């Protein structure tokens, strides 16, 4: 299909006017193109896609009764399919199914910014969902826009005290610690940290998933304790995924250097280089090189990027949409899907495009998603 014809179809797609045949043609065209920006660095791709998602959200916001879709930017139009349908079953099969997926009329909204902060003095603070994160400065708490948070003592006079911030299923939040270290918490995660980093090291504990941008301090190493492992850094950027219901703990390095040590067993400590991932399974640590860093941190940047089996995908969807997943007999849990989709869309947007493969079907019942062959 010629690009000018695809451009016209994309505008119809965004406007919601595509027929089933046009939609199938468009998706087939998109999957045949190389839109992964191979000439860009990982960071450039992340920034580029963030801009595109922002443009798409703006383009798809409610407008006047007769919106002029011709004003949608070419980049936003081309990447509209990223929001809805960059899914591909692997191994791929020729052609694409045009049947419209049949889901119930129910739908589930995505997660949002929400968390609770448990102070060492026993006080519980339900953090504002209109804010993206909190900042700790000189023993004071504030939201990232500068709004003060009324709380008990959290300063140097109570240096040994440990506070814990927790995100529920369907929630996310950011924390800037007193040393300037930035931590992004994914859904169903928690971060325990001292009110003040005293002594010769900085130590925090993470459950679930978090992305760290650690402030450099060669005289005070930063240590992260998580499920069955310890991560030691000086100043770096890395992601750790350590959910209790996941069999493997994954630590992925984007920048700098980290040492990953198992807490038990015969595994030796390993030192990661950028682009490598340590995978801890029980007491064994293995290193995987040339990891797709964009996929690892996509959750932090506002979208999902998948290239994995359906069970792993549904685990992530369950945490973000706060739903239960039920598998009917006959579902192939090893079948692999790859693609990207915005985290701001309702869950039906993900399920419908996955159904286009014809290899899996879904049914929504209240807050339960039933996966069927």
**pLDDT tens-digit series, residues 107-161:** 899 999 999 999 988 899 999 999 999 998 866 889 999 999 987 654 444 556 8
d(CA 340, CA 84): 8
* 221 shares its domain with 167: no
* 194 shares its domain with 220: no
In order, the DSSP letters of 302-359 are TEEEEEEEHHHHHHHHHHHHT-EEEEPTT--TT-EEEEEEETTS-HHHHHHHHHTTSS
d(CA 307, CA 310): 9
* Among 273, 291, 309, residue at a domain's last position: 291
276 within domain boundaries: yes
**pLDDT tens-digit series, residues 55-99:** 444 444 444 443 333 333 333 433 433 433 333 333 333 333 333
79 within domain boundaries: yes
What total of structural domains would you count in the chain? Answer: 3
> Could you say which DSSP state residue 91 is in?
S
The more confidently predicted of residues 91 and 318 is 318
Lowest mean pLDDT among 163-177, 201-215, 277-291: 277-291
Supply the range of the domain harboring residue 128.
Answer: 109-198
∠ CA(249), CA(223), CA(120), 5° rounding?
100
Contact 76, 56 (CB under 8 A): yes
* 86 shares its domain with 15: yes
Burial status of residue 62 (CB atoms within 10 A of its CB: 0-12, 13-18, 19 or more):
exposed
- For residue 326, what are the β-bridge partners? 370
* 240 shares its domain with 264: yes
Residue with tokens 């399919």: 81
What does pLDDT average to over the chain? 78
Tokens read off for 184: 């992004």
Q: Please report how the helices 20-32 and 3-15 are oriented relative to each other, as an axis angle in degrees rounded to 10.
A: 130
194 within domain boundaries: yes
**pLDDT tens-digit series, residues 203-247:** 999 999 999 999 999 889 999 999 989 999 978 999 999 999 898
């Amino acid at each position: 299909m010629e690009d000018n014809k695809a451009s016209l179809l994309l505008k119809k797609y965004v406007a919601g006017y595509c027929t089933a045949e046009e939609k199938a043609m468009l998706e087939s065209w998109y999957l045949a193109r190389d839109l992964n920006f191979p000439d860009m660095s990982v960071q450039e791709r992340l920034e580029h896609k963030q801009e595109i998602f922002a443009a798409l959200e703006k383009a798809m916001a409610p407008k006047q009764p007769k919106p002029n879709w011709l004003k949608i930017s070419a980049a936003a139009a081309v990447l509209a399919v990223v929001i809805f349908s960059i899914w591909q079953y692997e191994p791929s099969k020729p052609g694409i199914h045009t049947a419209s997926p049949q889901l119930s009329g129910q739908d589930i909204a995505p997660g949002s910014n929400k968390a609770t902060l448990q102070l060492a003095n026993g006080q519980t603070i339900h953090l504002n969902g209109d804010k993206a994160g909190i900042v700790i400065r000189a023993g004071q708490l504030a939201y990232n826009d500068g709004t003060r948070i009324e709380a008990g003592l959290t300063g140097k006079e109570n240096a040994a005290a440990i506070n814990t911030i927790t995100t529920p299923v369907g929630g996310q939040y950011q924390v800037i610690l007193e040393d300037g270290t930035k931590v992004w918490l994914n859904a169903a995660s928690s971060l325990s940290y001292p009110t003040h980093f005293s002594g010769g090291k900085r130590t925090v504990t993470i459950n679930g998933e978090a992305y760290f941008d650690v402030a450099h301090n060669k005289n005070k190493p930063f240590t992260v304790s998580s499920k069955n492992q310890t991560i030691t850094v000086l100043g770096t950027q890395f992601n750790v995924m350590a959910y209790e219901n996941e069999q493997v703990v994954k630590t992925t390095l984007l920048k700098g250097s980290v040492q990953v040590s198992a807490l038990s067993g015969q595994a030796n400590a390993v030192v990661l280089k950028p682009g490598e991932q340590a995978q801890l399974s029980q007491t064994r640590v293995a290193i995987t090189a040339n990891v797709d860093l964009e996929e690892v941190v996509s959750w932090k940047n506002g979208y999902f990027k998948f290239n994995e089996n359906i069970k792993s995908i549904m685990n992530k969807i369950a945490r973000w949409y706060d739903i239960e997943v039920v598998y009917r007999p006959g579902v192939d849990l090893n079948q692999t899907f790859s693609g990207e989709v915005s985290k701001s869309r309702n869950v039906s947007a993900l399920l419908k495009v996955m159904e286009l493969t014809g290899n899996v079907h879904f049914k929504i019942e209240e807050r339960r998603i039933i996966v069927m062959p």
